[in-house]
Chains A and B, each alone.
Chain A
Amino acid sequence: MQLESMYQEIILDHYKNPHGRGLRDPFDAEVHHVNPTCGDEVTLRVKIEGDTIADVSYEGMGCSISQASVSAMYDLVVGKPVTEALGTGEHFMTLMQAKGDPSVAEKLEDELEDAVAFAGVSKYPARIKCALMSWMALKDASARALSATGGTA
């Protein structure tokens, strides 16, 4: 059974008890992203103060991977400079392209913390988009928030 390699305990924990869930005010940008192949959805808001992500709030529906991913992302990016948060997103993208290669996950452990548990997802091409959806939404929302507030990432 290969399932445990994808559904790590950390992922199931985030899925059952999501961190930071709910839409909150104030916010600088709100985006709605969908995964058109399967109907996963997330609405995500970003509040930026100076160069820092002050809050990320979200509502969504979808599979365990998509919902756990946004929860793990919340832990990683809130309170971080926007550039650093987006850099973490790039690391997560690298992890998703690893095709299950454990050495990639090992190298990214420090940067990705809990999110490194998604390494197993990279073996299942159909599920990678589920894991990436929230990070794409964050990238989009941050760009909109910065252009609204006149900042640059």
Chain B
Amino acid sequence: MTQTASRPDAGAQRAPLPLDVEAIRADFPILSRTVRDGKRLVYLDSGATSQKPRQVLDAERWFYENVNAAPHRGAHQLAEEATGAYEEARAKIGAFIGAPETEVVFTRNTTEAINLVAYALSNAATAKEPEFRTYAAGQGDEIVVTEMEHHADLIPWQQLCERTGATLRWLGLTDDGRLDLSDLGTVVNERTKLVAVTQQSNILGTINPIAPIVERAREVGALVLVDGAQSVPHQPVDVQALGADFLVFSGHKMLGPTGVGVLWGRYEVLDKLPPFLTGGSMIEVVRMEGSTFMPPPQRFEAGVPMTAQVVGLGAAVDYLQALGMDKVEEHEKALTAYALEKLAEIPGVRVVGPADTVARGGAVSFTVEDIHPHDVGQVLDDLGIAVRVGHHCAWPVVRRYGVPATTRATFYVHTGYDDIDALADGIRAAQKFFGTV
């Protein structure tokens, strides 16, 4: 079996793409390799982790070959230059989301950033410094999440509630894959300590309205954490416009290296949070009897940080800004519209998530009648097409829509219409292989 070229049936509309896909592909070394006996790699799994352009890889290599040292330690020239590179990247990454560098905390990834906040809220209850107790969560308090969260934005809050006696509540979903905000006024109430919500669903692709949630949270004095793991890589995000207290995202999903993520926090909130991980770098004065801590962001960055990765993420931000986040968003919107049309042409294929591109990003999950997603994924893999199969670390979401698992295609800057044609042809090949059509 070979991948067939685009078929003449194409009722699906191909709007001109804002990004030059061929030029961008040339920047990604991995896209020139082949898989499964010489097939072109069709990478539709950027939602799990993105591929890296040469510019990012070069930045990491530049750091190690020229300035490698532990930042914020030592007085030698390398230490100075490493500190400079680390802090320049912080400023750049902050500017990318409209934040001053004092509000940018580096973590390992989104998951660690959320855990940092969740542990800070429970550590607050026993903090010896009175100001660190400001946001303590305990008995009688409530934490609100949504049924759309991936596990990283659910389990840390479940665990926070178990540690502190707080109660977990959640906003449900509508049948068409949107947040159900009809009971926002009761679910978020005077007992609510924090609301955690994803800006873009990793399964459904839904882009959530953050403004009404922030507005309600402000009325009751609750904090708002926005999970930007799937939004920051794919659309312009400005924390000033967002109005939340925290935004978290991962470098590796936005062309950056693994091992670096970001917690943005409003400074006055960060300033009143006790640390999560402790050790070197985050201290002010250390005595055997006890220690005092640095102001943010250093208070939350214990140990020698992932300096080369931060520099790499800085290069990823440069790369995305050169393309223009508006164009990245438009590009994916055009691809998503095309993919939704192409999938709708295939009998037995059901998209799980919004059926149009209104407030929707480029994560397209679907089921194929009578073929398990694993088996769909296996046939696609055999054709060189990399997709995600399973519950996508958001088990409650797939359960909500009555399917055990889905197949998910996600798009990015190097994705073109040819990739989506390959996907559609691959789904038809799976149907043929398993004899369901």
Contact = CB atoms under 8 A, between A and B. Distances in A.
Interface of A: 1-3, 6-7, 12, 37-41, 61-65, 124, 127, 130
Contacts of A61: 404
Interface stretch (B238-246, B263-271, B373-381): B373-381
B316 interface: no
Given A39-B390, A127-B378, A63 B373 contact: yes
Among B37, B375, B404, B405: residue with most chain A CB under 10 A: B375
A38 B391 contact: yes
Given A1-B1, A3-B433, A127 B374 contact: yes
Given A7-B433, A63-B372, A38 B378 contact: no
B389 interface: yes
A37 B390 CA distance: 7
Contacts of A65: 374-375
A41 B372 contact: no
B293 interface: no
Contacts of B391: 38-39
Among A38, A39, A64, A124: residue with most chain B CB under 10 A: A39
Nearest to B1: A1
Interface residues of B, number: 19
Interface string B347-383: 0000000000000000000000000111100110010
A3 B39 CA distance: 14
B389 A3 contact: no
B163 interface: no
Interface of B: 1, 36-37, 372-375, 378-379, 382, 389-391, 395, 398, 404-405, 433-434
Given A38-B405, A62-B404, A2 B375 contact: no
A10 to B, nearest CB: 15
A6 B378 contact: yes
A132 to B, nearest CB: 14
A38 B36 CA distance: 22
Contact of B375 (A1, A41, A64): A64
Contacts of A40: 374, 404
B378 A124 contact: yes
Given A39-B391, A39-B405, A63 B375 contact: yes
Given A3-B379, A127-B378, A39 B36 contact: no
Given A39-B405, A40-B374, A63-B375, 18 more contacts: A2-B36, A2-B37, A3-B382, A12-B434, A37-B390, A38-B373, A38-B390, A39-B391, A61-B404, A62-B372, A62-B374, A63-B372, A63-B373, A64-B375, A65-B374, A65-B375, A127-B378, A130-B374
Q: Which 6 A-B pairs have CB atoms at the shortest separation, nearest pair first? A: A63-B374, A38-B390, A63-B372, A39-B391, A39-B405, A3-B382
Contacts of A41: 404
18 contacts: A3-B379, A6-B378, A7-B375, A7-B433, A37-B390, A38-B374, A38-B389, A38-B391, A38-B405, A39-B391, A39-B405, A40-B374, A40-B404, A62-B374, A63-B373, A64-B372, A64-B434, A124-B378
B240 to A, nearest CB: 39
A40 B373 CA distance: 11
A130 B373 CA distance: 13
B318 to A, nearest CB: 35
Contacts of B375: 7, 63-65
Contacts of A12: 434
A34 B406 CA distance: 16
A144 to B, nearest CB: 25
B382 A1 contact: yes
A30 B390 CA distance: 25
Contacts of B405: 38-39
A62 B405 CA distance: 9
B264 to A, nearest CB: 31
B152 to A, nearest CB: 15
A12 B391 CA distance: 24
Contacts of B398: 39
B39 to A, nearest CB: 10
